[in-house]
Amino acid sequence: MRRTMRRRMAAKLKEVYAELRRRHNASIPETGAYLRSVVRGHNNYFGVPLNIHALQSFRWKVGCLWRKALGRRSQRVKVPWERMERLIERWLPHARICHPFPLVRLGVVT
């Protein structure tokens, strides 16, 4: 069973948050397009069988980081979760398995 290493996921989330801080004044569609490409690339690379929980967790954590970054843009109240859930649903792709099991992929019959 292959799973995403915690260290790699944490490093990628730190990198994403640093980029969100750098794109502090970018519009929501621009930031959403960037985060969509990040989550899609993560799904394509780590989308192996039995790793769906880690993919869903990554998507949710990226959404939480985006909410945190949006909340830092003003001195007003943080972004409500109802709005943030709509943004996550709109911009971040759902987790999906992209690679089949090795026996299916390689066609090995023993």
Q: What is the mean pLDDT of each run of 10 residues along the chain (110 residues)?
A: 88 98 95 98 92 96 96 84 96 93 67
Predicted pLDDT at 46: 92
**Could you tell me the pTM of the whole model?**
0.88
Strands (E), the chain: none
Q: How many residues does the chain have?
A: 110
Of the candidates 11, 7, 16, 5, the one whose C-alpha atom is nearest the C-alpha of residue 65 is 16
Element (H, E) at 109: none
pLDDT for position 41: 96
The identity of residue 83, as a single letter, is R
